[in-house]
Structure 1
Amino acid sequence: MRLTKFEHSCVLVEDGDARILIDPGGFSHGFEALTGLTAVLATHQHPDHLDVDRLGPLLAANPEARLYTDGGSAAVLAESGIAATGVQPGERLDVGTTVDVFGGQHAVIHPDIPVIPNVAYLVGGRFLHPGDSFTIPDVDVEILGLPTAAPWLKLSEAVDYLRALTPNVAIPIHEALLAVPGFFYNLYEKLAPEETELRVVAAGSTFES
């Protein structure tokens, strides 16, 4: 499995013949030139995870790619003339490799802000992208996309999430809001379970496992 990060929460996962792009959002760059995608996945409708304006050209350049999103995002995209297949927790997709769907709801930002749908994707039975949630699937997670900082996230919650899943490798995602993300990375590295390696993947760089 090969993971390439495109800033913030956007990750390209290559597993066998599958090339899956997750969360092509407004804080991410470089994914626009990708071709040969087999699927595009969006965890939820927030623009830092789903850039509607750049999604159309991306899909046009990847005509074989199927677009899967949570139900809320599918409705938003339909208004822009983009067809997406809405998925629910418990589903399994076959896009050249397996993608299991978990989650259901976005983490609470504030009680006055409505909670929207958010799904998490476990790709190839190995890499979990939780979107904006602390979803804990009922399976072991080998590689975790670890949310680093967000309006809905407190560092202690992310550490507890990391310890609950105890992945072999944790790759920080959702860091674009930070001026100095290394401060958070150092804390996560110190507080991670002994079994977990924190691996920082710079924009445009890859991790292979």
Structure 2
Amino acid sequence: MKLTKFTHACVRLEKDNRVLVVDPGNFSEAAEALAGAEAVLVTHEHADHIDTEAVLEALRSNTHLELFAPAGVADQMRTDAPEAVARVNAVAPGTSFDVAGFAIRSFGGQHALIHPQIPVVANIGYLIDDNVYHPGDSFVIPDGITVKTLLVPLHAPWSKSAEVVDFVIGVRAPRAFQIHDGFLNENGLKIVEGHVSRIGAKYGTEYSHLAAGESVEV
């Protein structure tokens, strides 16, 4: 399948002329990513993972588009787009479903802790075609599964570099690419990616950087 990286946490997957999008947030080129998509997966409610207006517009203009998200997000989208109720689906962890020609498995359940005084929200990680794993804002490792392509949240208010590296070591996917890099400048990106690349290689993970708009076959 073809994976295209958009700014920050959004990726677009294409296979057999069908399109699946994950986390089209407001740091990303959401409308561009969603063009022609049959399905969109949302990991959690934060705006850098779902650009609500762009997704609502896509649901209204594309009557074939289906949305999958944690229950709270799904409920809000059904309220905001009643004409698309039948195409908005709540996802719980530990479930499997097929959409747009892709096989999906869900993992996790909650967002990583930012601070004890900041409420923890639901977060779903998605494994796509037993290949690409997008964890959203968490370091939950899929159990009983060998991940082939890992999307690594490089930097966030809820993480530190040691946790990022340990996540890569724990998953041990053969290939890894970055997501959640929208908070880093060029200098910070080089430092974090250097750690991930150097230490990940010791455990069998080949890490590569994708520029926004760049595509790769996975």
TM over 0.5: yes
Q: Distance in 2 between matches of 1:125 and 1:131?
A: 17
Query: Given the superposition, is the C-alpha separation of residues 161 and 19 from structure 1 closer, same or farther in structure 2, using an over 3 Å criterion?
Result: same
My pick for the range that moved more, 72-81 or 165-174, is: 72-81
Give aligned pairs, total.
209
Matches for 1:6-45 after TM superposition, within 5 Å: 6-29=6-29, 31-32=31-32, 34-45=34-45
Q: Distance in 1 between matches of 2:18 and 2:126?
A: 14
Q: Distance in 2 between matches of 1:30 and 1:76?
A: 19
**Does residue 1:177 correspond to 2:186, yes or no?**
no
Q: Distance in 1 between matches of 2:97 and 2:31?
A: 22
What is the aligned partner in structure 2 of residue 155 from structure 1?
Answer: 161
Q: 1:145 aligns with which of 128, 140, 151?
A: 151
Q: 1:123 aligns with which of 120, 128, 140?
A: 128
Q: Distance in 1 between matches of 2:90 and 2:25?
A: 18
Q: Distance in 2 between matches of 1:30 and 1:75?
A: 21
Q: 2:210 aligns with which of 198, 201, 206?
A: 201
My pick for the range that moved more, 121-130 or 12-21, is: 12-21
Matches for 1:55-134 after TM superposition, within 5 Å: 55-81=55-81, 83=85, 84-95=88-99, 96-134=101-139
My pick for the range that moved more, 20-29 or 88-97, is: 88-97
Which structure 1 segments of 5+ residues have no match?
Answer: none
**What TM-score results when the alignment is normalised by the length of structure 1?**
0.94
**How far 1:89 moved relative to its partner?**
1.0
Q: Distance in 1 between matches of 2:61 and 2:192?
A: 36
Query: Given the superposition, is the C-alpha separation of residues 34 and 108 from structure 1 closer, same or farther in structure 2, using an over 3 Å criterion?
Result: closer
**How far 1:161 moved relative to its partner?**
0.7
What is the aligned partner in structure 2 of residue 165 from structure 1?
Answer: 171
Q: Distance in 1 between matches of 2:5 and 2:58?
A: 17
**How far 1:34 moved relative to its partner?**
4.2
Query: Given the superposition, is the C-alpha separation of residues 29 and 36 from structure 1 closer, same or farther in structure 2, using an over 3 Å criterion?
Result: closer
CA contact (8 A) 2:31 2:54 kept: no
Q: Which runs of 4+ in 1 moved over 6 A?
A: none
My pick for the range that moved more, 7-16 or 102-111, is: 7-16
My pick for the range that moved more, 39-48 or 72-81, is: 72-81
CA root-mean-square deviation:
1.6
CA contact (8 A) 1:121 1:129 kept: yes
**How far 1:30 moved relative to its partner?**
5.6
Which structure shows the higher helix fraction? 2
- 1:192 aligned counterpart, secondary structure: helix
**How far 1:31 moved relative to its partner?**
4.0
**Does residue 1:187 correspond to 2:195, yes or no?**
yes
Q: What's the CA shift string for 1:160-180, capped at 9, x where partnerless?
A: 110000001111100001112
Q: Distance in 2 between matches of 1:175 and 1:93?
A: 29
Which structure 2 segments of 5+ residues have no match?
Answer: none
**What TM-score results when the alignment is normalised by the length of structure 2?**
0.90
